[in-house]
Amino acid sequence: MLDFLARLLGRESPGSKNIAKERLRLVLIHDRADISPQLLQLLKNEIVAVISKYMEIDDKGLEVSLEHVDKQVALVANIPIRKMKRVANI
């Protein structure tokens, strides 16, 4: 009920504001990098597949994004590692 009143009065929760701002930032970066969200998802899947051969990773904390740094676009990956595998899964 309070959420409804807050939206009615024009006040958004800080969480939704930050989420919307982050989504807009990602859309702008995708546009500037000329890469589609589908291509970024494919790239993310392939990176995860390769790293998973050598390490056990936490999929829930996985983040792969593009960031604009000094007039260039950077691929940034935050991949939490649970443990190293003794033998690679080839």
Radius of gyration of the chain (CA): 18
- Beta strands 72-78; 81-84: pairing state: unpaired
pLDDT cut 90: percent of the chain above it: 2
33-76 pLDDT tens trace: 667 778 878 888 898 899 888 899 988 888 887 777 777 778 88
**Among the listed residues 90, 67, 88, the one whose alpha carbon sits nearest the alpha carbon of residue 77:** 67
Where exactly are the structural domains of the chain?
2-84
C-alpha span between 40 and 42 (Å, rounded): 5
Count the residues in the chain. 90
Confidence of residue 32 (pLDDT cuts 50, 70, 90): low
Mean pLDDT of 73-85: 86
